[in-house]
């Protein structure tokens, strides 16, 4: 009997302990779990901003995507009727009723870019039925509009079936502007936690992966909304709880780009590359860049990098096969060569040495330097090194004779610039020239050796070497021979096409190094300007006005009676420019056994601008392995300059 009462007491104590644990000690935790079971936060997507060119042409916008959805709880319970609904959906949309086997050859791509068989309607609905029967599930994604409309007419006879409209990014100009606009992709597991904190829904939302889409992600994306809803155990939404946070649409962007000029630039570059490949043997012309810019404001009017890719292919998802083909292509079409291609600039770099030599009074403008076609220098690695003699040559092997500043720049005389950079006692430059430290300094002032800050991801810095760089990276002391070669933009010197173009702007706008920009205006969801255009100056260079004018006059002489004389003219408009032919020996040339001493392959460069008196546009053309700047890159630039001024006349006539 005592045992019985003891058991009763123990039972009562156990019940009381459990009640205390649940209702007192763990009350808060249990209450939170109970609330979580009947409440959930619904994430509402924010409309992404639109991207326009400077004239209002749409470059990226949102188009409706039609998805066929089913709410399992609203389907009929009769199996025969259910099968009829599945068959009708399958007939109209092409979606399989059951998941096909792996070897059926019918694959899709999931949000991580992995190939997987498309799930069948029955399996998708069955899984959702067991999880949350009152929540919609997509059974046929991305159906064409006409298919969605046809199915919508039958919805009254298809209980539980619906059409859900969601936005999809669309790129109307496709490959023409792909490197500038970029594309979007899924939120991967590596960055999922970060974007969850920002209010994104990783299973649904996409983010910018390249171009403006990536760089201006925060501006374009807006802010997702949310609401707390109460639902029953089956997932049926009962009511909203608390305050609803509406989605805030992303801002739209008006770019500085002119699609008309972009198309002309792309066509000119592509056609010239094609012609060169038809005329030559050996190393083909594989890559090229054209950039057009307003040198006063920094606005990028056109930016072309070939080969390119079609970002419209990435509008709904990133196809694995297409992306892999681009990624593995030897000519790297995914890379924007305008900002990420580093190449020796050759003679277009001579503006650095020219301006530095005048500023530091290494020579006077009238001083003549003798160019016999080749000179002998002593290559020293330290001050007391007796050194070894070696010859350096001018591109004109019989020389230019006596050369003053304007002539040296206009005819791109290599011996003249060897003298300015490293000294040339026999030629009259007895002060040792600028030297690599001052070449490095002036190059940095003119925008080399650091990114420009343009609104694109992946911009590289180029390379202006100095003593420390060579010691750390090559394991050798700097030599006098290195200085001579760097003075004509060769050797270790590397630059991107955008850096080259930007280095010319101080000679067109009074000495300011401008920050290139692709953003003209930022608009809110109603089209109101929230951030107008404002010119940004990286810094004011220390160059004297007389130096700026002399270098500018030298570039004018390039087009009048120099290396650019035969490139062409525009009636009524004076032009300035500079040619460049840069020898190179990269891994591609080495593999092709083209690095022959004395006959290395060369890249073609040309920078042209106008009108000379009041510049509105400056254009750089770079052709990989183009060989000759004046004959290959020059005509490309001239075609674009011609088009720009013709478009300007048309606009003036239309506005009159």
pLDDT score recorded for residue 111: 42
Q: Distance between CA atoms of 577 and 409, rounded to whole angstroms?
A: 10
Q: Which residues contact 319 (CB under 8 A, 6 or more apart)?
A: 109, 313
What confidence tens digit (pLDDT) does each residue in 178-228 have? 999 999 999 989 999 999 888 888 888 899 999 999 999 999 998 988 766
Output the six-digit token pair for 625: 């392995």
Report the C-alpha gap between 637 and 605 in whole angstroms.
10
- Give the pTM: 0.86
- In the numeric block, the tokens 């770019």 are attached to 255
Tens digits of residue pLDDT in 273-304: 999 988 877 678 889 999 999 999 999 999 99
Sheet holding 225-231, edge to edge: 39-44, 225-231, 237-245
Token representation of residue 82? 């259910």
pLDDT category at 152 given cuts 50, 70, 90 is: confident
At 246-260, the pLDDT tens digits run 888 999 999 999 999
Q: Is the four-CA dihedral 444, 448, 451, 453 of positive or negative sign? A: positive
pLDDT reported for residue 385: 80
List beta partners, residue 63: 168
Could you tell me the maximum CA-CA distance found in the chain, to the nearest angstrom?
129
Closest to 265 (Cα-Cα) out of 618, 535, 506: 618
Q: Long-range CB contacts (< 8 A, 24+ apart) of 96-103?
A: 96/120, 96/121, 97/121, 97/122, 98/122, 98/123, 99/123
Six token digits for residue 289: 């860049």
Q: Is 125 helix (H, G, I), strand (E, B) or coil?
A: helix
- pLDDT at residue 11 is higher than 80: no
Confidence of residue 235 (pLDDT cuts 50, 70, 90): very low
pLDDT, residue 60, reads 97
Mean pLDDT of the 423-429 span: 90
Cis previous bond, 307, omega within 30: yes
Higher per-residue confidence, 608 vs 79 = 608
Backbone angles phi, psi at 190, to 5 degrees: -65, -30
Alpha-carbon gap, residue 334 to 457, rounded angstroms: 12
pLDDT (0 to 100) of residue 39: 55
Show Cβ contacts of residue 570 under 8 Å, excluding neighbours closer than 6 positions. Answer: 610, 638, 641, 642, 645
pLDDT digits (tens, 9 = 90+) for 559-597: 999 999 999 899 999 999 999 998 877 767 666 666 666
Phi then psi dihedrals of residue 637, to 5 deg: -60, -40
What sections of 505-608 are H helices per DSSP?
506-509, 545-561, 587-591
Average pLDDT (415-426) is 94
The domains found in the chain, sorted by start residue, are 64-167 (no CATH), 259-655 (3.40.710.10)
Which own/partner pairs from 153-156 qualify as long-range (CB within 8 Å, at least 24 positions apart)? 154/88, 154/92
Question: Residues 493-518: what's their mean pLDDT?
Answer: 97
């Amino acid at each position: 009997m005592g045992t019985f009462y003891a058991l009763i007491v123990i039972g009562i104590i156990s019940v009381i302990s459990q009640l205390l644990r649940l209702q007192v000690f763990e009350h808060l935790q249990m209450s939170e779990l109970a609330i979580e079971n009947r409440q959930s936060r619904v994430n509402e997507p924010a409309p992404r901003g639109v991207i326009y060119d400077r004239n209002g042409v749409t470059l990226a916008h949102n188009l409706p995507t039609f998805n066929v959805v089913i709410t399992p709880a609203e389907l009929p319970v009769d199996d025969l009727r259910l099968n009829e609904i599945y068959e009708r959906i399958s007939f109209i949309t092409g979606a399989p009723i059951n998941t096909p086997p792996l070897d059926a050859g019918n694959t899709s791509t999931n949000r991580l870019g992995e190939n997987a068989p498309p799930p069948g309607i029955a399996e998708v609905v069955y899984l959702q039925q067991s999880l949350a029967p009152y929540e919609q599930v997509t059974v046929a994604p991305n159906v064409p509009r006409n298919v969605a409309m046809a199915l919508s007419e039958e919805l009254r006879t298809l209980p539980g079936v619906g059409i859900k409209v969601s936005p999809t990014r669309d790129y109307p100009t496709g490959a023409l502007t792909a490197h500038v606009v970029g594309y979007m992709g899924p939120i991967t597991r590596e960055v999922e936690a970060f974007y969850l904190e920002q209010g994104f829904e990783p299973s649904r939302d996409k983010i910018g992966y390249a171009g403006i889409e990536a760089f201006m992600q925060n501006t374009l994306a807006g802010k997702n909304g949310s609401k707390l809803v109460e639902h029953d155990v089956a997932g049926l939404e009962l009511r909203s709880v608390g305050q609803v946070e509406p989605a805030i649409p992303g801002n739209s962007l008006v770019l500085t780009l002119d699609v008309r000029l972009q198309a002309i630039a792309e066509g000119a570059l592509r056609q010239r590359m094609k012609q060169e490949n038809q005329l030559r043997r050996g190393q083909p012309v594989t890559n090229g860049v054209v950039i057009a810019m307003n040198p006063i404001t920094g606005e990028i009017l056109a930016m072309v990098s070939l080969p390119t890719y079609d970002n419209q292919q990435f509008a709904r998802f990133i196809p694995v096969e297409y992306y892999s083909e681009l990624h593995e292509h030897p000519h790297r079409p995914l890379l924007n060569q305008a900002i990420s291609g580093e190449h020796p600039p050759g003679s277009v770099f001579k503006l650095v040495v020219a301006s530095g030599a005048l500023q530091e009074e290494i020579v006077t403008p009238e001083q003549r330097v003798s160019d016999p076609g080749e000179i002998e220098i002593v290559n020293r690695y330290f001050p007391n090194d007796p050194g070894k003699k070696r010859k350096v040559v001018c591109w004109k092997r019989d020389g230019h004779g006596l050369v003053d500043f304007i002539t040296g720049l206009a005819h791109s005389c290599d011996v003249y610039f060897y003298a300015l950079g490293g000294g040339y006692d026999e030629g009259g430059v007895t002060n040792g020239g600028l030297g690599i430290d001052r070449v490095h300094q002036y190059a940095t002032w003119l925008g080399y050796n650091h990114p420009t800050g343009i609104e694109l991801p992946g911009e590289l810095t180029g390379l202006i070497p100095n003593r420390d760089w060579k010691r750390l990276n090559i394991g050798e002391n700097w030599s006098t021979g290195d200085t001579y070669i760097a003075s004509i933009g060769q050797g270790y010197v590397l630059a991107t096409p955008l850096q080259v173009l930007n280095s010319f702007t101080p000679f067109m706008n009074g000495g300011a190094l401008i920050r290139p920009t692709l953003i003209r205006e930022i608009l809110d969801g109603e089209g109101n300007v929230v951030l107008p255009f404002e010119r940004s100056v990286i810094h004011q260079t220390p160059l004297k006005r007389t130096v700026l004018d002399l270098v500018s006059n030298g570039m004018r002489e390039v087009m009048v009676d120099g290396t650019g004389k035969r490139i062409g003219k525009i009636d009524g408009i004076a032009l300035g420019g500079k040619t460049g032919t840069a020898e190179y020996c990269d891994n591609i040339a080495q593999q092709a056994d083209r690095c022959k001493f004395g006959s290395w392959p060369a890249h073609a460069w040309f920078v042209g601008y106008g009108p000379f008196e009041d510049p509105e546009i400056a254009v750089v053309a770079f052709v990989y392995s183009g060989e000759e700047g004046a004959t290959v890159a020059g005509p490309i630039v001239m075609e674009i300059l011609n088009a720009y001024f013709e478009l300007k006349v048309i606009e003036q006539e239309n506005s009159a």
